[in-house]
């Protein structure tokens, strides 16, 4: 497949009544969030993925939280803010050109940019959830309690708080996955931005599109590159704003 220009995506928007965007880690790298995989990725180079398995949380919640807080502070440095890719998608939604964003990211930057129709497949770092009663609460006050010595942090019910993200060994939230599948099945244009489409089960979602055009915006080839309708080999933080500029008055 040859690399297509931005105006090919703009034309695809103009012929679609329903548009959904699916995003991966590449959308957040311009905000300063390091990648998890690859030669310089967090996994392997700095942190052991096994330390963040659900079985480790259940067996050793204090040790888990010590490592989790270190990971959180490395992954989400102070002053983190949405970048032009997040802002472009929020602008497209606000203008009525985008129906929803489905993201594999947990950083909360889509929501911070103003996207409201958002499915966070892997959860969000913005809150924690009690592993006993399922009550959710903002994450930062709980993080501060850990820094102050309460480790592991407890819910008023007596249960232990867990990050409200999908840990290794856990299944994706059934409702979120069902909503994502429904959106993709009903859309006429599916854009996948900044995702290698190699991590299951999210990687399988584009197969569920029902005749929708598929656009890939990603530096590297993916398992879908050869069958996609449009591929832009470029930086999502440049490409998405260019698309939004052409579509949003």
**Domain layout of the chain by residue ranges:** 1-33+82-122+172-249, 34-75+126-165
User: Nearest Cα to 19, choosing from 85, 83, 89?
Assistant: 89
Q: Helices marked H in 48-83 — which ranges?
A: 54-59, 61-75
More confident of the two residues 199 and 183: 183
Residue 40 has pLDDT above 80, yes or no: no
Is residue 169 over pLDDT 80?
yes
pLDDT recorded at residue 110 = 97
- Phi first, then psi: what are they for 21, rounded to 5°? -115, 135
SS3 112: helix
pLDDT attached to residue 38: 58
How many helices (H) and strands (E) the chain has is answered by: 9, 9
Contacts of 47 (CB under 8 A, 6+ apart): 67, 70, 71, 74
Average pLDDT over residues 166-195: 95
Model pLDDT, residue 5: 84
Considering the four listed CATH numbers 1.10.10.60, 3.40.50.1220, 3.30.2080.10, 2.40.110.10, the one that applies to the domain covering 1-33+82-122+172-249 is 3.40.50.1220
Residue carrying the six token digits 């129906």 = 99
Residues tagged in the binding site annotation for Zn(2+): 130, 133, 155, 157
| Both tokens assigned to 78 | 């102070």
Catalytic residue IDs: 122
The burial of 146, by beta-carbon neighbours within 10 Å (0-12 exposed, 13-18 middle, 19 or more buried), is given as: middle
Please check the confidence at residue 1 and state whether its pLDDT lies above 50. no
What's the predicted TM-score (pTM) here?
Answer: 0.91
68-127 pLDDT, tens per residue? Answer: 999 998 887 767 899 999 999 999 999 999 999 999 999 999 999 999 999 999 999 999
Assigned CATH for 34-75+126-165: 3.30.1600.10
Q: Does the pLDDT value for residue 2 go beyond 50?
A: no
Q: How far apart are CA 199 and CA 105, in angstroms?
A: 12
Residue of 93, 85, 143 whose CA lies nearest to 116:
93
Binding annotation: 130, 133, 155, 157
Neighbours of 38 (CB within 10 A): 13
**pLDDT reading at 45 higher than 70:** no
Residue 240 host element (H or E): helix 236-247
């Amino acid at each position: 497949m040859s690399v297509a220009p931005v105006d090919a995506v703009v034309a695809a928007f103009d012929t679609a009544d329903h548009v959904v965007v699916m995003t991966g880690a590449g959308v957040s790298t311009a905000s300063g969030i390091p990648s998890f995989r690859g030669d310089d990725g967090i996994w392997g180079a700095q942190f052991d993925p096994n330390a963040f398995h659900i079985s480790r949380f259940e067996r050793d919640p204090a040790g888990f939280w010590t490592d989790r807080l270190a990971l959180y502070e490395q992954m989400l440095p102070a002053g983190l803010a949405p970048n032009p890719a997040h802002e472009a998608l929020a602008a497209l939604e606000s203008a009525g050109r985008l129906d929803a964003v489905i993201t594999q990211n947990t950083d909360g930057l889509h929501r911070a940019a103003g996207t409201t129709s958002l499915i966070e497949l892997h959860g969000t770092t913005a809150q924690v959830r009690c592993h006993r009663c399922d009550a959710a609460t903002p994450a930062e006050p709980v993080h501060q309690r850990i820094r102050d010595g309460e480790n592991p942090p407890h819910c008023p019910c007596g249960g232990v708080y867990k990050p409200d993200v999908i840990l290794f060994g856990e299944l994706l939230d059934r409702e979120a996955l069902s909503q994502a599948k429904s959106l993709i099945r009903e859309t006429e244009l599916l854009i996948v931005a900044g995702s290698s489409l190699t991590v299951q089960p999210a990687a399988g979602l584009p197969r569920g599109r029902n005749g929708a055009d598929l656009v890939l915006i990603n530096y590297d080839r993916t398992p879908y590159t050869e069958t996609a309708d449009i591929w832009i080999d470029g930086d999502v933080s440049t490409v998405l704003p260019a698309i939004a500029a052409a579509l949003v008055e």
